[in-house]
Structure 1
Amino acid sequence: MDIAEVLTLADELIFAKTGKHLDYVQEAILRGTLEDATYTQIAQEVYSSPSHVRNVGAQLWKILSKGLGKNITKANFRTVLEKEKIYNYQLAIVGDNIKVGENVTVNNNFNVCREKSRSPKTPQNPQPTTKQPRIDLDDAPEISTFFDRTSELTTLKQWILENRTRLISILGLSGSGKSAIALQLIQHIEYEFDCIIWRSLRDAPSLQTLQTDLIQFCRGGAPVPAPEERAIAAPEERATTGGLPLQYLRSHRCLIILDDVQTIFSSQQLAGNYKPGYENYGTFFKQIAESCHNSCLILISWEKPREIAALESHPKNCQTLQLNGLGEPAREIFTEKGLLESENWSKLIDIYRGNPLWLNTVAAAIQDLFSGNISEFLSYDSLVLGDLEYLLHQHFQRLSDSEKQLMSWLANQIKAVEISKKPALLELSPSEFLKAVESLRRRLLIEKVQKGDRTLFQLQPAIAEYVKTNIK
C-alpha cells in the first residue's frame, strides 16, 4: 500500500467535501493510522493533546465515511483500504455526490478531482466556485514591472506546495526583486491557503504588536483574546510560537510574508544581531520552523537571520532562496530606456550583476547624460555610480568596523582571493577576520567564486568602486 497515494485520495475527497485540503493534524492521523500508531503517539508527533487529536480524527472518519459510502473508523481504515483497494481507484464528483471506481467515466457532468497529470494542490484556472482566500496585501509594495523568474518561482512553489516548508527566506541586495518575486508567487499559490497576509517591518514593530495584528487577521478581524483567555478556552493549545498560538497556524493554512526584515537587526554590528528588545523575533522564527503546523512564513531581507543556518539542515523546516540578478531578461530595461549599442548591454548586465533597480538607475543616467551611448559611459577611468551610490550607502552604513576593514582590503585586490590565511595588513585577529567574512556573506556583499577545489572571494565591480570612494 502506497501511503502517498492514500493521502492524495484522502486530500481530494476532503477538498471535494469541505473546500479545504488536509491539514497537518489530519495528515498525521492518516499516516499514524496506516502505521498502527495510537492517538497518543500521533499527538506527540504533532505536539498536541490526545483529546484534540481524537476529536479531529472523529470528524475526519465521519467525512471519509460519508464520502466513500462506507463506515470508516480508525480501527478499520487500513482493512477497508486493503480489502476494497480504494487507493488505486479514481475519484469523481457528480453534483454533490462522490463516486469512487477503477473506471470512472468523465464527461461534461463530471468534475474529476484527481488526474495523473496534476493534483488539486496545484490548481490550474480555478473555477469561480473555488473558495477565495482572505488576502491582505496593504503593506506590499506596488510593482509595475515583473521579469522572468521562472526557475526561482518553480523552486519556491516546490518548497511550499510539495515539501510543505514552514520557513522560507528570500535574500538579496536592495533592488534585486525580492518583493516582486514574492508577489508573483502569491498569484501562483493563493488558492492553496485560507489566508495570506503581507507585513513590512520597515517601522520595526515589536513582536507582540506584529503577532496581535497577525492573530486578528487570522480571526477574521475579531478582537484578540488575552493570553489567559486563550489558555482557558483551549488548554491543549498552550504551546505558542512566542505569543502566536499554534492553533491559528494549524487550523488555518496561512501564508505570512514579512518584508524588510533587516530593519530589526542592529547596525554597526555583525550581520544578524537583533536590536535590543527584538531578540524574541529570533525565537519566533525558530519556533515557526520547528513547530508542527501547515502554514508558511516567508522572510524578505537584505541579510540572513542568524538562526537560519542551523535550521536549514532540515529542508522541511527551513529553506533559503538567494535571489541573483537577471540575465537576458534585463535587456528589457535597456530597450525601455532607449539605450543604444545593444552589443554592450551584456557588459552592463555583468558589471551591475543584473540587479533590476541598479540597471534601471544606471540606464536612466546613461540616457540623460550620454544620450543613451553606453561606450561613452564606460570610457571613464572609474566606474560611474551616480544615484546608485545612495542605494549602496544604505547597505554600508550597517557595517561593523571589522567588516569595513575587510571590504577595503577586498576592493583593492585585482582578482578574487583566498581567505585561508588572514592578510597581515589587517588589524584583526584570525577569529575576527573569519567572522567578518561570514557576516559579509550573510549580507550578500561579497561573492564566492569556485575555481576547481579552491574557494575564492571578491567584490562586485559596483560595490568595489563604492568602497574605494567612500570607505577609508
Structure 2
Amino acid sequence: MSNSSSSRSLKLKPEYKKQVKASVTRRGFASQTHLATKLGLSRDVISRFLNGKPVDRLNAEEICDKLGWDVQEVTFFQTSINKQPKTDWGEAADSPNSFEREEEFEILDQWIVKDRCPLVLIEGMAGMGKTNLSYQLAKQIANHFDYVIWRSMDQYQSLEELLDDWLSFLYEQQEIEEVKTTEEKLKQLKQKLESDRCLLILSNIHIALKDFSFIDGYQGCEKLLKLIAKKTNKSCLLITSNVTPNTVNQLERNNQLVRRIEIKSLSVKAIQNIFSSVGSFSASDEDWVKLKEIYWGNWFVLKNVAHNIQRNFDSNITNFFEFGDYVFNGIEQFIEEQLDKLSETEKEVMYWVAIYRHPISLFELRDILSGLFNDQLLNIIKYLKSRFFLESIEEGILVQPPMIREYIIKRLINNITEEIVNNNLFWLNRFPLLLTTAQSRIR
C-alpha cells in the first residue's frame, strides 16, 4: 500500500460534478448539511467530494449510494503522491527500541490497519510494556495515516487541555474557528477525523479514572470515546490503561469494531531476549521458567531483575534464586507504588490472600473477612482482578502474582519483627492466622 492517503481516496470525475451536485436536492435533501447529517459525515467531507476533491473511498461510496450513483462510474482513484504522514511522538520518542510482543503486534495491526477499528484499548498490569507496544506499533503503521500523534494522559490536567493539543497538531497552520466549550472542540475533532485518516495514541488513560469512571475534569472523555466509536473506517484512537473504563466496556458490547487486548505474561523466549539485551547470563531451563512464574512475565520488572543479577550475582541466575531475595529494592518501590493506590480494605484482602497457605476460594476469603458484606467483597475482588493484583485460576479460586505475594510477605515479616522488638503487636493481632494457616516459612 502506498504511503499516501490519496492512494486510498476517490475523486468525483469532472464531467459528473454538476450532475451529482444537482442530485442532492433531487434526492430530497434540503442542503449538503442535511445530506451530511443523514450519512453521519461532516459537511466538509460532502463539500470536498462534490467539488471534486479527494475523500476516503468508503465515504465516497456512502455518498454515491445515497445520491443514487454508481461509484465506479462517477469517481476515480487519486494518483499516489507518496506523501509522508505528519507525526508527533511526544514523550514516546524516549521509549526503548526492544520489542517482545510479536503476537499482540500482529493482532493490533490487523484491527487498526485492515479492520479499521475506530477505538482500540491495550490493557494490562503496570510494567507489562503497553506504552512500548503502542509506540512500536504506531511507528510501524504510521504510513497508513495522514496524521499520527502520541500523548500520555498524565501530561494534562483536563480533557480540554488534551483537545487543545490535538486540535493544534491536526489543523497545523489552518485558521479554524476559535471555540471554548468541550462540545465545540469535540465537534472540530470529529470533522478532522472524518476528513483525514488520523491515528491518535493516548497512553495511561487510567490516570483519569476512579472506580472505572472518569473523574472531575475528564468526564468529557466518555463523549470523546463514544464520538470516535461511532465513526468507523477512517481514523483510530488507540488507548492504553491498567483498567478498562466502563465506557469502553459498554461500547465493546454494542460495536464489533471497538476492541480490547489484554497484555499478559511474556513468553520464556521473550524473557531470554530481554536478558540478552542486558548481557550474557548463565541459567538452566528451569531458571527461565521460574523467572516467568515469579515475575509474571512483567517487562519492566524483568529488566530490573536482569540488571540486578548482572550487578550482584555475576550474571548467574541460579545463584540469584539460591540467595532467595526475589523482591529487592527496585522492585519493592515499583510494587509499593501500585499497592499504595489501593484502599485500606483492598490492601487487607491482598494481605490475606498472600498469607494463606494455598490458593484461596471466594468462600474462604468471605469467612476471614466477615466484617464485609458480600457485595462489598465481590466489588473489591472485581477491582483487584481488573488491576491484575488477583487472578482466578479456576472458578472461585484466587491467586496473586508471585512477585506481589513475595513483597507482601516480606513486608509482613518486617512489620511483625519490628513490633515484637517494640512490644506493639498491631499486625500480629490483625492477622492471627499467621500462626496457624500461613505458609511454613512465614511461621
TM-score past 0.5 threshold: yes
Deviation per residue, 1:256-281 (Å, 9 max, x gap): 11122232235xxxx43444333332
| Cα deviation, residue 326, structure 1 | 1.7
1:296-337 deviations in whole A, cap 9, x for unaligned?
111122222232221211344521111113211210233333
Deviations 1:431-465 (A, max 9, x none): 11111111112212222324xxx353211100111
* C-alpha contact (below 8 Å) 2:109/2:137 kept by paired residues: yes
Matched, 1:358 2:314: no
CA deviations on 1:83-135 (whole Å, 9 max, x unpaired) are x9x99xxx999xx7xxxxxxxxxxxxxxxx9xxxxxxxxxxxxxxx5211100
TM-score for both structures, normalised by structure 1:
0.70
Report the counterpart of residue 130 of structure 1 in structure 2.
82
Query: Which of 360, 384, 406 lines up with 1:440 in the alignment?
Result: 384
After superposition, where does 1:225-264 map in structure 2 within 5 Å?
225-227=177-179, 242=186, 245-264=189-208
How far is the alpha carbon of 1:184 from its aligned partner? Answer: 1.8
- Asked whether the equivalents of residues 216 and 222 of structure 1 are also in contact (C-alpha less than 8 Å), the reply is no
Q: Deviations over 1:197-234 (max 9, x none)?
A: 01122244311111011011110144653227x9xxxx
**How many residues were matched structurally?**
386
Report whether the alignment pairs 1:313 with 2:305.
Answer: no
Q: TM-score, normalised by structure 2?
A: 0.74
What pairs up with 1:116-155 in 2 under 5 angstroms?
129-155=81-107
Q: How does 1:7-406 map to 2 (within 5 A)?
A: 18-21=6-9, 43=36, 46-48=39-41, 55=47, 58-59=50-51, 77-78=69-70, 129-222=81-174, 225-227=177-179, 242=186, 245-266=189-210, 271-291=211-231, 294-327=234-267, 328-335=269-276, 336-343=278-285, 344-380=287-323, 383-406=326-349
Q: Give distance in 1, aligned partners of 2:238 and 2:10.
A: 21
Contact 2:150/2:201 (8 A) holds in 1: yes
Residue 437 of structure 2 corresponds to none
| Larger proportion of helix | 2
The answer to which of 161-170 and 55-64 deviates more is 55-64
C-alpha spacing 1:313/1:76, structure 2 compared with 1 (3 Å): closer
Q: Structure 1 pair 337/189, CA: closer, same or farther in 2 (3 Å)?
A: same
Q: Structure 1 residues 251, 316: CA separation in 2 closer, same or farther (over 3 Å shift)?
A: farther
The residue matched to 1:379 in structure 2 has which SS? helix
Percent identity among equivalent residues? 26
Per the alignment, do residues 421 and 222 of structure 1 end up closer, same or farther by CA in structure 2, a change over 3 Å counting? farther
Unmatched tracts of structure 2, length 5 or more: 12-22, 57-63, 413-426, 428-443
Aligned-partner SS, 1:423 = helix
Structure 1 runs not aligned, ≥5 long: 1-10, 24-32, 65-71, 97-112, 114-128, 231-237
Distance 1:330 1:400 in 2: 33
Please, what is the CA RMSD of the aligned residues?
Answer: 3.8
Change in 2 beyond 3 A, CA 1:223/1:325: farther
Q: What SS class does the counterpart of residue 144 from structure 1 fall into?
A: coil
